[in-house]
Structure 1
Amino acid sequence: MARLQLEDLKNYTKEQVPGAFEILKEYLRLPTISAQNTAIPETVAFVVRIIQDAGGEAQVLDDLGGNPVVYAFFPAGGGGDAEKTLLFYNHYDVQPPEPLEEWHSEPFNPVIVDGILYARGVADNKGDLVARLTAINVLQKAEGGLPCNIKFLIEGEEEIGSPNLAPYLEKYKDLFAADACIWEFGGKDGEERINMVAGIKGMAYLELSCTGADIDMHSSVGAYVDNAAWRLVQALATMRNERNEILVEGFYDGIIPPTEEELEAVRALPFDEEATATLYGLKRPLITATKGEDPREAMVFHPTMTICGLESGYTGEGSKTVLPKSAKAKVDCRLVPGQDPDHILHCVEKHMEKHGFHDVKVTSLNGQKAYRSDYNHPFIQHVIATAKDVYEAGCVLAPNSAGTGPMYIFGEMLQLPIVSTGVGWVKSKAHAPNESIRLADFEQGIVHMAHMLTGFPEAMKLASETIEA
């Protein structure tokens, strides 16, 4: 099969983009919030429809609980290699849009302003799915059709930790078998370079709760009644000190140190401290600045412990003098290779006991292990090379992202190399108000996926030869 020229792919993509935008806007109008269990059936039906409209076979897997998993299959064209298969991982669920007052437009009513498309889920992860299906459309219209088989696994619980995905992947392992995988996300940095990752951090997401009474009380009884909110705050304060060091015994057990190659790759990553402070409106210096550490190394190689939310007593407008009966905190720990989320839970439980907080209950809400692919795999090198062809400013590949997803189970069960890339940009603000992508990046991302696919069979043949050698 003759490989399509990059300029031809760009021209074909330009023809497809207007229709792709209409599909994407329709997709974004669905408020698919897994945390609130909204619009799940409608979104599954929509995803199945756009797969079938693109010429693929769709199958809804819903026999193991949780939100359905959608499988899609596109066979290689007549001129393609039916022995090679690429798997795409995406998710159709999105984060809750709150706080609504910080949005400049309705989160589920997509709007375009100055070439930027705003809507909840456009960067994470609905834009990437539509871009990938559009790349398939581009190649199908060319002579010879798809250069390889293409599969998708599209789940609906990524934003709540993918609690039900592992059983589906285990039962349907043969259905999702492939030679390599493109992960869900990615985007451009402040220097317009496309940022990709070959791995992901893990997570132990915990809930800590404390109950001191059956009812809220008048605050005057604070003279002799202990306060559940103070109790929980004091317990939390024992886990991390004022230097932002995690004090839970055993927390760092098992960590696999990065290789020199991984360290060099991370030290080459871009990081603009001033631009980061401006982007988020930071009011305090970076933790790494106060500790004399490299923020790039911290982002990739250091585990974290973050209080994501606190809930207790009265938090409405005005005053209400109340001593709360209970308090609750959500805490996420981002983990690096070698750490185990179950071990982290056990360590935090022991920590509470050791420091006298027997009444603080620790519950695991979800846990995932970290994962890193082999940097030197021919597939990863192929994705980098094709990105350099498409993106004028170049590309950067990190060993793993600072975020989390279910990559570990893919790597372990399917035994394949994984690279994550997408259509976001430095101001995409995934999980935050005014989430966005730029239209030009969306189009460029389609071109990259199409270009990468045209050379995929050759890259995987090289991988096979390397393994045999």
Structure 2
Amino acid sequence: MGNHNLDALWSHTKELVPDSVETLKEYLRFPTVSAQNTAIPETVQYVVKMINETGGETKILDDLGGNPVVYGFFAAGPNGDSAKTLLFYNHYDVQPPDPLDEWNSEPFNPAVVDGILYARGVADNKGDLVARLTALKVLQKADGGLPCNVKFLVEGEEEIGSPNLAPYLKKYQDLFQADACIWEFGGKDENERINMVAGVKGMAYLELTSVGAAIDMHSSVGAYVDNAAWRLVQALATMKNQQNEILVEGFFDGITEPTDAERQAVQALPFDEEAVDSLYGLTRPLITAAKGEDPREAMVFQPTMTICGLVSGYTGEGSKTVLPKSAKAKIDCRLVPGQDPDHIEECVKKHLIKHGFTDIEVTSVNGQKAYRSDFNHPFVAHVMKTAKEVYQHEAVLAPNSAGTGPMYEFGEYLKLPIVSTGVGWVESKAHAPNESIRLQDFEEGVVHMAHMLSGFAKALQSEQQIAESL
């Protein structure tokens, strides 16, 4: 696409963005917290309304359990290539807004301050869906309309691990079939570089429970009664040492070694330790420094084991001399390609039994496998190229993010390349109080999606021509 056409996309976007921001604000007012099962039906209807008002066809899929999956379809325009289809993946559910006292505004009452839009779910992931629909409106204003077919899959359980998505993908894989997929998230880093990924880590989220009695007891009986909290802490300490090495036998089984291209891509990733320190207010050095490891490689290629939460006994103000009856820990293991969450759960169970903790109960909260797209696919290069042209800045593409999503199932059932990009920024604070996006980033994200779609069919035709010549 030439500069003249890119200029036209910018012009159309600036016309449409004010109304789109108002639409986004309405969308953000729904407290769609999947963990609490709130506002699901009304949010589904609003997603359908947005797609229909953009000119698309919709179907609500709700026959396989869980929150409904919304399907959207837009046909290529008269000058478009109806043989090529791009799929957008988004989710309409959000994280709980807690802790509420740390918000500077009401989490479900969107507020704009100095060009920044604050609300729960604005970065993860409601802003991206509205930006993508706006990009379609931009293209519809151009001669010939949409340059290819466009589909949407918008689900409502991503924030609780997408437990019911796989059956929908399996049953409706023909409906969602496409040539490539743009994933849900992305944003700019501390140096204003757009960061994108072509994969995600997997996850095994486990709950460990220690029960020592039927009731809480006076702490004095600790002279002869075992303490459930100490018991759990001691069990946890056998799983990871002070050097932050995971000690569970079998934990690293099956890991797929990164390709040379993936390693080179990670070596090219920027990493600013001072910026990380400042962003999070760290009080201790990075654990990779003590281990002599590259934090970029750790983020992309290494699995993790994290204690996400510990609950036991009295944690209120002042003192209460209690020996707790039970203790519970939430464990998050981020996995890399080749690892299986069910296998991780079994390894943890066997590890605890081997170390004498037969009384510690292990249950799985959710599990997902990791996924990486083919880094050499023309679609990956096309998304990168168009990002640089729109943002007029260096773009960063990693083989996978450090986070997790149901990308493996998309690769398994739809067998298509995937790149994730979005309208977030370094201060978006997804999952935290004061979640936000900048309106300028929203506008640029709209233009990028429109520009990317404009050359999408041509980029994939080149791949087909190469394949046919072999």
TM-score, length-normalised on structure 1?
0.98
Over residues 163-219 of structure 1, what are the superposed CA-to-partner deviations in whole Å (9 max), with x where a residue is unaligned?
000000000010000000000000011111111101110000101111111111111
Aligned match of 2:399: 399
Q: Please give the secondary structure, in 2, of the residue aligned with 1:11.
A: helix
Q: Please give the secondary structure, in 2, of the residue aligned with 1:70.
A: strand
Q: Which amino acid in the other structure matches residue 396 of structure 1? A: V
Superposition CA RMSD, Å: 1.2
Aligned match of 1:244: 244
Q: Which moved more, 1:309-318 or 1:221-230?
A: 309-318
Q: Please give the secondary structure, in 1, of the residue aligned with 2:150.
A: strand
Q: Which amino acid in the other structure matches residue 393 of structure 2? A: A
Aligned match of 1:135: 135
Q: Structure 1 residues 107, 229: closer, same or farther in 2, change over 3 A?
A: same
Deviation at 1:3, TM superposition (A): 10
Equivalent runs, 1:135-174 vs 2, <5 Å: 135-174=135-174
Aligned match of 2:189: 189
Q: Please give the secondary structure, in 1, of the residue aligned with 2:174.
A: coil
Aligned match of 1:266: 266
Deviation at 1:114, TM superposition (A): 1.2
Judge conservation of contact 1:107–1:118 (CA < 8 Å) in 2.
yes
Tell me how far apart the structure 1 counterparts of residues 97 and 432 of structure 2 sit (CA, whole Å): 7
Q: Please give the secondary structure, in 1, of the residue aligned with 2:120.
A: coil
Aligned match of 1:86: 86
Deviation at 1:4, TM superposition (A): 7.2
Tell me how far apart the structure 2 counterparts of residues 453 and 22 of structure 1 sit (CA, whole Å): 24
Aligned match of 1:351: 351
Aligned match of 2:218: 218
Q: Which amino acid in the other structure matches residue 136 of structure 2? A: I
Aligned match of 1:458: 458
Equivalent runs, 1:280-319 vs 2, <5 Å: 280-319=280-319
Tell me how far apart the structure 2 counterparts of residues 73 and 366 of structure 1 sit (CA, whole Å): 30
Tell me how far apart the structure 1 counterparts of residues 230 and 464 of structure 2 sit (CA, whole Å): 60
Aligned match of 1:333: 333
Q: Which amino acid in the other structure matches residue 300 of structure 2? A: V
Aligned match of 1:69: 69
Tell me how far apart the structure 1 counterparts of residues 197 and 460 of structure 2 sit (CA, whole Å): 19
Deviation at 1:465, TM superposition (A): 2.1
Tell me how far apart the structure 1 counterparts of residues 31 and 129 of structure 2 sit (CA, whole Å): 16
Over residues 364-393 of structure 1, what are the superposed CA-to-partner deviations in whole Å (9 max), with x where a residue is unaligned?
111111111111111111111111100111
Tell me how far apart the structure 1 counterparts of residues 121 and 294 of structure 2 sit (CA, whole Å): 31
Aligned match of 1:100: 100
1:370 matches 2:370: yes
TM-score, length-normalised on structure 2?
0.98
Deviation at 1:261, TM superposition (A): 1.6
Aligned match of 1:360: 360
Aligned match of 1:36: 36
Deviation at 1:317, TM superposition (A): 2.3
Tell me how far apart the structure 2 counterparts of residues 2 and 309 of structure 1 sit (CA, whole Å): 52
Aligned match of 1:233: 233
Overall identity of the aligned pairs, in % = 77
Tell me how far apart the structure 1 counterparts of residues 3 and 413 of structure 2 sit (CA, whole Å): 32
Deviation at 1:2, TM superposition (A): 10
Aligned match of 1:430: 430
Deviation at 1:284, TM superposition (A): 1.1
Q: Which amino acid in the other structure matches residue 199 of structure 1? A: G
Tell me how far apart the structure 2 counterparts of residues 260 and 327 of structure 1 sit (CA, whole Å): 45
Judge conservation of contact 1:32–1:40 (CA < 8 Å) in 2.
yes
Deviation at 1:110, TM superposition (A): 1.1
Q: Which amino acid in the other structure matches residue 164 of structure 2? A: N
Tell me how far apart the structure 2 counterparts of residues 423 and 381 of structure 1 sit (CA, whole Å): 19
Judge conservation of contact 1:4–1:454 (CA < 8 Å) in 2.
no
Tell me how far apart the structure 2 counterparts of residues 315 and 465 of structure 1 sit (CA, whole Å): 65
Deviation at 1:318, TM superposition (A): 2.4
Deviation at 1:433, TM superposition (A): 1.2
Deviation at 1:99, TM superposition (A): 1.3
Aligned match of 1:13: 13
Unaligned 5+ runs, structure 1: none
